[in-house]
Structure 1
Amino acid sequence: MSPTQNIVLITGANQGIGYAVAEQLLKHENYFILLGSRNAENGIKAAAKLDPSGKSVEPITIDVTDDASIQQAADQIASKYGHIDVLINNAGNNNEFTHYWKQQESKEEIKLDLAALRQIYREAYDVNLFGAAITTEAFIPLLKKANAKPARIVFVSSHTGSIGLRTDPSSEFYERMSRPSFPAYRSSKTAMNMLTLHYAAMFKEQGWKVNASCPNLTKSAFTRFSDLGRSPAESAVNIVRLANLPENGETGQYLDENGIVAW
């Protein structure tokens, strides 16, 4: 890699939105991609597909639910590169989709027992909130050494985490957002939004740009390639923009490609 390249780590990037973000960032000559993947083999394959030369993409094994894995990734990157310039917390979980599709296929209500319900909540929060928080903490020392200014953090959130959209009848999203669906996933993304504000405030004086992006419903493995979703490439656009923010760019915001989203 070139000394002038921005180093960006993307978690959960071997497929879907994360992969599309990497693909679009590669169109910017100044980016070196650390392609995060929970499964090492999947990461290697995805990195080779993105960049057969290996000059601009390197696979990094990181499981955001495993503290040892997070620390190992941080140590590996610190030893080899000494810093990162951008962190994109993209890894996500919505096991409620699995239950939803089972109900759709059976056409009958499938009642979860309490233990199964607790597990769904635990897994959603473990990735979407705890994983994003612990990963951010692990990489703050490397972001403090960023070559590019400002350092940037992007949390990949969701419109479904917006309390504003959920409660505003005048919103075009209200009908969809006010439905009683996916409470574990949605509440975990609401919590992620508060995490965004926390880190934006923490590094405001240093000029860091810390924002949350709403990619919208996307056709990917995450949603079992739902026909209702749009392409990962479309959903990646605003994430890529936030990863490229200049010194006068926004921070502490919750946005999609059309602008600010109500918290």
Structure 2
Amino acid sequence: MSTKVAVVTGSNKGIGFAIVRGLCKHFKGVVYLTSRDVNRGRTAVATLNQEDLHPNYHQLDITDPKSIETFRDYLKANYGGIDLLVNNAAIAFKQNSTEPVAVQAEQTLFVNYFSVLATCEILFPILRNGARVVNISSSAGRLNNIPSEALRNRLKDPKLTIPELSALMKQYVEAAKQGTHAAEWGNSSYVVSKVGLTALTKIQQRNLEERDIKVNAVHPGYVDTDMTSHKGPLTIDEGAVGALFLALEAPDSVKGQYVWYDKRIVEWDGANPN
């Protein structure tokens, strides 16, 4: 029987680190902690080693297709495939950032949508049947955060394809460059990136249905991390609960869903839950 393999992107700190910690405790297989920076990644592994947890490490920069391909080839050669992929790596500009909106839009969408998509396109072919994919979204990823009803309808269209979704994401970046984005898309590139990721989740589930692969998105809650400037009330381990639920515990019937940090399935285009 082949060894089961779990991969968490961007996991040297924050929620990703806590997801690795939880997987090391409960996933019956090999867990890969990954990071862009090798030294930070190895330091994170050493920290978990002190807790008697033993993840494996591999460098992975989701913004670099060659890095993803190298990791894919390594996993394929050593294990034949993977059984769990947690797409955690992401960026967010601070509210007081001085970078122009156009720069924030391009960089945020590049990492949070297009680079996650590239990671999936390269790694999905080595997902084993029965695998699970968890996309770390956000409460910002709720469809109702997009002002335009026409755009909302387009994004939730059950016939929407990945190329069509990517074209919409590019339209947002172009609108931000022109300064015409606010009326239809709102004023947050992070919102658009996470709405895009949640929409992608639903398309991916439709595309992978025949392979018995479950793809879900999760809002981890407002967590005390560098990304939130440590303003969130939840610990990183509390922020990992929803992702670990989808990775390890959720019934097979949970697929293509948008899940809250307390394990509730939430309507993507519904009201904000309490």
User: TM > 0.5 between the two?
Assistant: yes
What residue is the counterpart of 1:255 in the other structure?
Answer: 259
Distance 2:88 2:258 in 1: 15
Greater shift, 28-37 or 210-219, is seen at 28-37
Cα distance, 1:195–1:248 mapped onto 2, change above 3 Å: same
Decide whether the 8 Å contact of 1:48 with 1:54 is kept in 2. Answer: no
The one-letter amino acid of 1:21's match is: I
What residue is the counterpart of 1:73 in the other structure?
Answer: 71
Cα offsets for 1:191-247 (capped at 9, x unmatched): 001110111001112211100000111111112212x43111111001011111566
What residue is the counterpart of 1:215 in the other structure?
Answer: 220
Distance 2:51 2:21 in 1: 14
Shift of 1:4: 5.9
Distance 2:265 2:53 in 1: 36
Shift of 1:185: 0.3
Structure 2 portions without partners, runs of 5+: 148-184, 269-274
What residue is the counterpart of 1:173 in the other structure?
Answer: none
> Normalising by structure 2, what TM-score?
0.77
> Normalising by structure 1, what TM-score?
0.80
Distance 1:29 1:205 in 2: 24
Shift of 1:182: 5.9
- SS for the counterpart of 1:186 is helix
Cα distance, 1:5–1:82 mapped onto 2, change above 3 Å: closer
Decide whether the 8 Å contact of 1:90 with 1:156 is kept in 2. Answer: yes
What residue is the counterpart of 1:11 in the other structure?
Answer: 9
Cα distance, 1:26–1:81 mapped onto 2, change above 3 Å: same
> Equivalences for 1:3-42 in 2 at 5 Å?
5-28=3-26, 30-42=28-40
What residue is the counterpart of 1:107 in the other structure?
Answer: none
The one-letter amino acid of 2:101's match is: L
Shift of 1:68: 1.2
Runs of at least 4 residues of structure 1 off by over 6 A?
none
Distance 1:224 1:241 in 2: 26
Tell whether 2:131 aligns with 1:160.
no
What residue is the counterpart of 1:197 in the other structure?
Answer: 202
What residue is the counterpart of 1:239 in the other structure?
Answer: 243
Cα offsets for 1:82-137 (capped at 9, x unmatched): 21100100001112x1xx246xxxxxxx6x5xxx3211111111111011111011
Decide whether the 8 Å contact of 1:21 with 1:239 is kept in 2. Answer: yes
Cα offsets for 1:141-171 (capped at 9, x unmatched): 210xx2xx6210110000112124778xxxx
Decide whether the 8 Å contact of 2:83 with 2:132 is kept in 1. Answer: yes
Distance 2:219 2:207 in 1: 22
Distance 1:54 1:137 in 2: 34
Report how many residues are paired.
Answer: 230
Shift of 1:190: 0.3
Shift of 1:52: 5.7
The one-letter amino acid of 1:196's match is: T
- SS for the counterpart of 1:30 is coil
Cα offsets for 1:170-201 (capped at 9, x unmatched): xxxxxxxxxx9861001100000111011100
Query: Pairwise CA RMSD of aligned residues?
Result: 2.4
What residue is the counterpart of 1:135 in the other structure?
Answer: 119
Distance 1:164 1:261 in 2: 12
Decide whether the 8 Å contact of 1:7 with 1:32 is kept in 2. Answer: yes
Cα distance, 1:51–1:142 mapped onto 2, change above 3 Å: farther
Structure 1 portions without partners, runs of 5+: 103-109, 168-179
- SS for the counterpart of 1:217 is coil
